[in-house]
Amino acid sequence: MQPTATVLVYSDDSTTREQVRLATGRRPAADLPEVEFVECATPGAVLRELHRGGIDVCVLDGEAVPMGGMGVCREIKDEIFECPPVLLLIARPQDAWLATWSRADAAVALPVEPVEFASALATLLRRKALVSA
């Protein structure tokens, strides 16, 4: 396994990006490598980072402006070859069907609840590691 896992975090709200960093800590689970974050505040930045490569998981804010994470997720699933798994932050648990529409691999409700978030992120990082192995 690589020495670090790279997690892209997309939100126009710096508070949301901070919640993700704090909920993850140094690593989301003891069996996973330490996490390095790439923060993006615009959809264009997300696409640039994904084309650059090296992203293990994307965390996308469904409430981001001007383009929500659901739209960004659907776009990157269509446009990025071997798109990394996506964890979508949704406004309400009832929005889970929209996360399915966007082709997200997992979804958690905002505000970020640390244990739930870390568990979902850990699952996606493990899945990514199995695919890469």
pLDDT tens, position by position, 74-93? 999 999 999 999 999 999 88
Structural domain including 60 reads 4-132
Tell me what the pLDDT averaged over the chain comes to: 94
Residue 103 φ/ψ region, left for φ over 0, alpha for ψ in the -120 to 50 degree band, beta for the rest: left
| In the predicted structure, residue 56 carries a pLDDT above the cut 50 | yes
| In the predicted structure, residue 1 carries a pLDDT above the cut 60 | no
| In the predicted structure, residue 2 carries a pLDDT above the cut 60 | no
Q: Identify whether 111 is preceded by a cis peptide bond (ω within 30 of 0).
A: yes
Residue 46 near residue 9, CB atoms below 8 Å: no
| In the predicted structure, residue 131 carries a pLDDT above the cut 90 | no
- pLDDT (tens digit per residue) in 7-49: 999 999 999 999 999 999 999 999 999 999 999 999 999 999 9
Please state the domain count of the chain. 1
Please state the separation of Cα 56 from the chain's center in Å: 9
Q: What pTM was computed for the model? A: 0.95
User: What CATH number is associated with residue 104?
Assistant: 3.40.50.2300
The stretch 60-77 carries a mean pLDDT of 97
